[in-house]
Amino acid sequence: MRKAANVSDYRELARGRLPHFLFEYLDGGSYDEVTLAANVGDLREVKLRQQVLRDVSTLDLSTELFGKTWSLPIGLGPIGLAGMYANRGEVQAARAARAAGVPFTLSSLGVCPVQEIARKLQSPFWLQLYIIKDRGFVRDLLAQAREAKCDALLLTVDLPVPGSRYRDYRSGLSGGTRLQRGLQALARPGWAWDVGLNGRPHSLGNLEPVLGKNTGLEDYFGWIGSNFDASITWHDVAWVRENWDGPLVIKGILEPDDARAAVTNGVDGIVVSNHGGRQLDGVSSTARALPSIADAVDGKLPVLVDGGVRSGLDVVRMLALGADFVLVGRAWAYALAGRGQAGVAHVLKLFEAEMRVAMALTGCTKITDIGRAIIDRR
């Protein structure tokens, strides 16, 4: 396949280019992947009301968030190990996001560190953060983010312990050997040359101070299990606030009570998220959880959402369900694996074009027009 018309096509390009263990890590979820499937399926079940004979000759897709105006109500969400999907993959994706006028979020488990993104991007980006037991390391990483002028911090709170991901075990990513993964890499010579040989170093750049430069994947997964802090509470969120003076967003909200607690604790936004179906299987899809959370927040802070978004039409659906902004994850990661920066740029253009069609045919000329009134509840 040489051309990609949508995210599903890029998924197949990624499957054909990545070593098996990396594609399974990107594509998979936890346990039996019920929530992973529901994220996509429930969102597709949201029906919209087609409304005609409105003047939709001019459409404005821009939106404001955290004091900035973005070209689209879309951001690239954090993806761990993205630098393994293409040569310095986080840099390529960040450049595509900058060109499209949307934010890029660097995962703290990315291959490229904060300093590299800042040096090569030369414009602000967002940083995703996990709290680990070594608070000194967390404080230092926040200092690096301030120096890099990161303009938002996404604190992920739904990974006190790693989820059980059967695909990673079967593929050899966890529990496998370097020989097993090496043979899978050799079966993808394009990837082996571009990323395996020329995309080094392959360490998790942000974690080098605590992991070292030559840590293997088996050490990485073991380190997560023993070093992520399962004791964190809202008290720790307050500690992060003391060390971070920019917008602070809590990622991993699925319940209205937790959303109300976020408001009470003075954060600047939340992300309705189930970690892409990669943590607790059987929880609600984000499309189902979103409306009650948006009601609970009642406009007191921005509500972002991720999970199952595969098109611009899905973005409009999420906005109609109550989101203010939408993060995409696998969609850009498939494109990065398939065609690098050009693929990510293409997916963002596809999303914009699909949003324009959906908005025009629902009678919406600007983002603030999109609401529950365009949902068909019949």
DSSP character at residue 375: B
Q: Is 20 a catalytic residue?
A: no
For residue 95, the SS3 value is helix
Say if strands 68-70 and 63-65 run parallel, antiparallel, or are unpaired.
antiparallel
Strand pairing class (68-70; 74-76): unpaired
Instruction: Go through the chain and tell me how many residues it has.
Output: 378
Question: Looking at 20, 202, 275, 346, which residue is catalytic?
Answer: 275
User: Nearest to residue 370, comparing CAs of 308, 309, 310, 326?
Assistant: 326
SS3 sequence of 286-348: HHHHHHHHHHHHCCCCCEEECCCCCCHHHHHHHHHHCCCEEEECHHHHHHHHHHHHHHHHHHH
**179: helix, coil or strand?**
helix
C-alpha distances in Å from residue 287, one per residue of 36, 254, 272, 281: 12, 10, 9, 15
Instruction: Using only the alpha carbons of the chain, give its radius of gyration.
Output: 20
- Catalytic residues, by residue number, are 275
